[in-house]
Amino acid sequence: MPRTRPVIAVLCEKATDRPPGLEGLDVDFRYCTADGLPDAIRGAKALLLWDFFSTALRDAWPHADQLEWIHITAAGVDTLLFDELRESDVVVTNARGVFDRPLAEYVLGAVIMYAKDSRKSFDLQRRHEWRHRETRRITGATALVVGTGGIGREIAKLLRAAGMQVKGAGRRPVTDEPDFGEIVDSANLAAEVGWCDHLILAAPLTPSTHGLVDDKVLAAMKPDAHLVNIARGPMVDEAALLAALNEGRIGGATLDVFDTEPLPQDHPLWDAPNVVVTAHMSADAVGWRETLAEQFATNVRRWLAGEPLLNVVDKKLGYVSTGAPT
């Protein structure tokens, strides 16, 4: 009798939005959207969350009768994890590494844009107004990067290469750290942010980082400091941020993530002073879908061969634990 190939369910946002380049893998794929996930996952050995913001698995979980492995095509797993999955033997892997450099480039661009007052330049150009101004250098400017995993490290390396002074903020303080120089305790963020010109959020969303940037942290920042959030919206108290911006207590913010996405058209952050809004796109460089699909295909081959999977998430922590300070 012919060998039965393992089934991998693939959750897509739309029926036409399928991952490219998976042909030739020795598996059978069942493609579905959220409403078809309960049927698709029944009997499946693995699940690919191509729609990585979906929370449909929680409701479909009772139908996951043979599931061994879930791969999510995102670095953050906060939308995926729930108690039953955490307590199960199902292995979770993520897209760690794919987005590090694009995110670091976005942050460097945001820092330069803020230092060079580009937002004001665009406004003057639209008004056809010629006005000479002086702007700041980034050489010697200071940045505190919250999150010291792969993404935070890539950001630190790029900012340091541009001549900036950088520290990290993580769960454990470290001195003489090769990428950050120093890592301070993110639990004491309000005591640390007065040092930095740019506060950059690049940590996973966990119970300890939810609401991390609150009114106390914002009050402790320099009056001309710049907040960059490429992590998750709920890491920032948006009401407190709006108050700080409107009252001129911080200089500005570059925001790629929000509590509610898409950001509602009437949300006051659109028009807040010195705010740049982008549509959760900081990691999405041209070719990212192909890279994500190839990363998953590599793990499928390892899975079929009985080899250890890459980027295994610690489901209790909510991220891939490498043993390095985080």
* Contacts of residue 228, Cβ cutoff 8 Å, sequence gap at least 6: 107, 110, 111, 198, 199, 200, 201, 253, 254, 255
For the question of residue 261 being annotated catalytic, the response is yes
Q: Are 138 and 115 in contact (CB under 8 A)?
A: yes
Decide: 191 and 217 in contact? Cβ < 8 Å.
Answer: no
CB 258 within 8 A of CB 238: yes
Among 44, 74, 38, 40, which residue's Cα sits nearest to residue 56? 38
Q: Per the residue annotation, which of 71, 153, 232, 238 is the catalytic one?
A: 232
**How many C-beta neighbours within 10 Å does residue 84 have?**
13
Strand order of the sheet with strand 198-201? 174-177, 181-185, 165-170, 142-146, 198-201, 226-229, 252-255, 275-277
Mapped onto helix, strand or coil, the DSSP state of residue 207 is coil
Q: Which one of 63, 101, 280, 302 is the catalytic residue?
A: 280
Look at the chain and count its residues: 326
Per DSSP, the three-state class of 263 is coil
23 assigned to active site = no
Q: Rounded distance, CA 291 to CA 100, Å?
A: 13
Residue 237 backbone dihedrals phi, psi, to 5 degrees: -75, 100
Per DSSP, what are the bridge partners of residue 146?
169, 201
Does the annotation mark 198 as catalytic?
Answer: no
Q: Which of 13, 87, 261, 290 is catalytic?
A: 261
- Give the CA diameter of the chain: 79
Active site residues: 232, 261, 280
